[in-house]
Structure formats: structure tokens, C-alpha cells
């Protein structure tokens, strides 16, 4: 019951993903997000405050078999709300590349991805939600919904360590039948962000992101 409530709350209030898909003009983001059932690695360059392009690799693991997807990806900031005490964002994503799957029999083919992502945050509250869809003819179709809700116990200054308590709910019906619920700790200091968590099934999560 508790799990269902947490899951429902996170999906309702949800929002963020790992972090902002588009950062300041001419900024570069390197990120890696890892769990047992998936990994997401990105190198993105923001060529304006609305557009970012780069490389994105995903690996989904089902029954010890991997599906790898590599994309040339573009993120677009569709809408941003800059309030005095909060910020909200809506992003859309698109990419094309190649997929390689060893599930059933080994197959490789062209691949496409699309997605939408929303977040809203203050200095002590954070919510986000995102949906991604990956497809490769005759190889794979994977949809992924991720939601997060979190809070920080204090307002950190510009040059201080910021700490967050969060819960992530990820649902990938093509990879895992049940949603993966992961309480996690987020920290960031200056231009480096890292997260560590463990799902309710005792699967570790380790994420890191650096802005240059």
C-alpha cells in the first residue's frame, strides 16, 4: 500500500529527470546515470539557451540480455517559467541513431527516440516528470516514464554543498513489469552533481553530471 501511495504521489507531483537538458549558452554537459536495468550516458552541448545537441547512449538490460541504443540527440526548451522563487521548464527531445539488441536473437538496425520532460523547482522543493519512447524497426520498442519528487532540508548558498532527498519512480513496461521505486540522495557542489540511491528491490543507482 505504501509503495503504491509513494508511486502515485511521485507520478502526480512528478517531474524532473536527472537535470536540465539544456543549460547556459555554450555550456557542455557530461552525464552518466546507472542502474541494473538501464544506463544513460550523455555528452550534450548547449548552442543557445534553448537548444542542445549531442550524443546519447542507452542500455536496457532484460533477463541478462542488453539492448543498446546510440543517438545523435537534440533537446529543445519549449517553455521556461522564471519566477522570483521558482523555475519551471518543459523540454522536448528527438534523436536518431542505431540500436543493437541481443534479446532473442542479435539484431541491429536504425533507431529513433522522442521524449518530453517537465520540471518545477524551488530552492527546497523539486518535482519532475519525463516520458521517452525508443523505437527500432524489427529490433525494439521501449517506452519509459520517470517521475521524481524531492526536498532539500536547507537553502544552500551559491558556493555551498546542496543536498536533496528524493524518490524516483521509473516505469519501463518493455524492460521491467513493475515500476522501479528508488529513494536517493542528490548532492551538488558548484558544477558537479552526483546521486546515489537504492531501489526497493535493492538495486543500486549511481548518477553523476558535470557542467563545463
Partner 1 sequence: MKKIIMLSLCLLSPTLYAKEITVKVNGMVCSMCAQGIQKKFSKISEVKDIKVDLDTKVVSIVTKDDKDLKDSKIKEIITEAGYNVATIERK
Coil vs helix vs strand at 171:
strand
> Smallest distance, Å, CB 91 to partner 1?
12
> Smallest distance, Å, CB 21 to partner 1?
12
Cβ neighbour number for residue 57 with a 10 Å cutoff:
16
C-beta of 62 vs 93, nearer to partner 1: 93
C-beta of 104 vs 159, nearer to partner 1: 159
> Smallest distance, Å, CB 39 to partner 1?
22
C-beta of 58 vs 120, nearer to partner 1: 120
Cβ neighbour number for residue 52 with a 10 Å cutoff:
26
Query: What's the number of CA atoms in the CB half-sphere (13 Å) around residue 89?
Result: 24
> Smallest distance, Å, CB 159 to partner 1?
7
> Smallest distance, Å, CB 122 to partner 1?
6
C-beta of 57 vs 80, nearer to partner 1: 80
C-beta of 77 vs 205, nearer to partner 1: 77
H-helix or E-strand containing 124? Answer: none
C-beta of 82 vs 177, nearer to partner 1: 82
H-helix or E-strand containing 193? Answer: strand 192-198
> Smallest distance, Å, CB 3 to partner 1?
29
Instruction: Determine contact, residues 38/203, Cβ cutoff 8 Å.
Output: no
**Residue 177: all three cell numbers together:** 513489469
Query: What DSSP line would sit under 34-75, residue for residue?
Result: E-SSEEEEEEEEESSSSEEEEEEEEEEEETTEEEEEEEEEEE
Chain centroid offset of residue 126 CA = 14
Q: What residues line the site for partner 1 (CB under 8 A)?
A: 19-20, 22-25, 27, 48-49, 80-87, 121-123, 155-160, 162, 188, 190-193, 211
Amino acid at each position: 500500500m505504501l509503495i503504491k501511495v509513494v508511486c502515485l504521489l511521485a507520478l502526480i507531483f512528478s517531474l524532473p529527470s536527472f537535470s536540465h537538458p539544456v543549460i547556459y549558452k555554450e555550456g557542455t554537459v557530461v552525464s552518466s546515470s546507472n542502474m541494473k536495468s538501464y544506463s544513460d550516458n550523455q555528452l550534450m552541448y548547449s548552442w543557445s539557451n534553448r537548444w542542445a545537441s549531442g550524443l546519447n547512449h542507452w542500455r536496457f538490460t532484460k533477463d541478462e540480455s542488453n539492448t543498446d541504443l546510440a543517438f545523435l540527440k537534440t533537446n529543445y526548451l519549449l517553455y521556461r517559467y522564471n519566477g522570483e522563487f521558482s523555475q519551471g521548464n518543459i523540454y522536448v527531445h528527438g534523436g536518431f541513431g542505431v540500436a543493437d539488441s541481443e534479446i532473442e536473437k542479435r539484431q541491429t538496425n536504425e533507431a529513433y527516440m522522442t521524449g518530453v520532460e517537465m520540471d518545477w523547482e524551488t530552492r527546497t522543493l523539486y518535482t519532475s516528470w519525463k516520458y521517452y519512447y525508443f523505437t527500432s524497426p524489427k529490433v525494439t520498442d521501449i517506452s519509459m516514464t520517470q517521475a521524481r519528487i524531492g526536498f532539500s532540508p536547507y537553502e544552500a548558498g551559491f558556493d555551498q554543498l546542496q543536498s536533496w532527498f528524493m524518490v524516483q519512480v521509473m516505469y519501463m513496461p518493455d524492460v521491467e513489469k513493475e515500476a522501479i521505486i528508488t529513494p536517493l540522495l542528490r548532492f551538488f557542489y558548484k558544477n558537479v552533481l552526483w546521486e546515489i540511491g537504492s531501489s526497493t528491490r535493492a538495486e543500486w543507482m549511481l548518477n553523476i553530471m558535470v557542467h563545463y
